[in-house]
Amino acid sequence: MRFANQPKSATLNSIVPFLKKVFELSLRKASNKSFESINLPFFKLFHRILIEDSTQGRLHEKLADKFKGNGGAAGKSSWKIDLLWDAKTKEIVEMELTSGRVSDMTLGEIITKCIRENDLVVQGVLMKKI
């Protein structure tokens, strides 16, 4: 994948599908043995088991117009990736790439559009059945 001499918006738009595929393959490989050993009967009660989490990092300050940081030690520019992953199918349901200023609470609300009846949702320390 080559990003040189492309507008910032084109580069950022093209990186999201790439990152999604990288995360999906990594999660699938890492979870193969973990979830095979956990064959709990209660998992069958749920249509999907959705796990949501986010991570963030600093960017060069030239990207601050698109990805604002929190300033100070956190930097002038930062990104945050929020991922909603189905542990049963081992597929990414939703992935958001945002400015580092977007709160985890806001990102957690974004996933409500993806939740269906009889899903188990795990967000940080919160677990609930919809």
User: Residue 125: is its pLDDT beyond 60?
Assistant: no
User: Does the residue 118 lie in any domain?
Assistant: yes
User: Does the residue 1 lie in any domain?
Assistant: no
33-68: per-residue pLDDT in tens?
A: 655 556 677 778 899 989 888 888 888 888 888 778
Give the pTM.
0.69
Place of tokens 């956990």: 38
With residues binned 3-state (H G I as helix, E B as strand, rest as coil), the percentages for the chain, rounded to 5, are 40, 30, 30
User: Does the residue 22 lie in any domain?
Assistant: yes
Backbone angles phi, psi at 46, to 5 degrees: -110, 140
User: Range of 30's domain?
Assistant: 8-129
Q: Decide: helix, strand or coil at residue 4.
A: coil
User: Does the residue 43 lie in any domain?
Assistant: yes
User: Does the residue 2 lie in any domain?
Assistant: no
User: Does the residue 103 lie in any domain?
Assistant: yes
Of 4-8, 11-15, 44-48, 84-88, the range with the lowest mean pLDDT is 4-8
User: Residue 7: is its pLDDT beyond 80?
Assistant: no
Residue type, 98: T
Q: Decide: helix, strand or coil at residue 95.
A: strand
Total domain count, the chain: 1
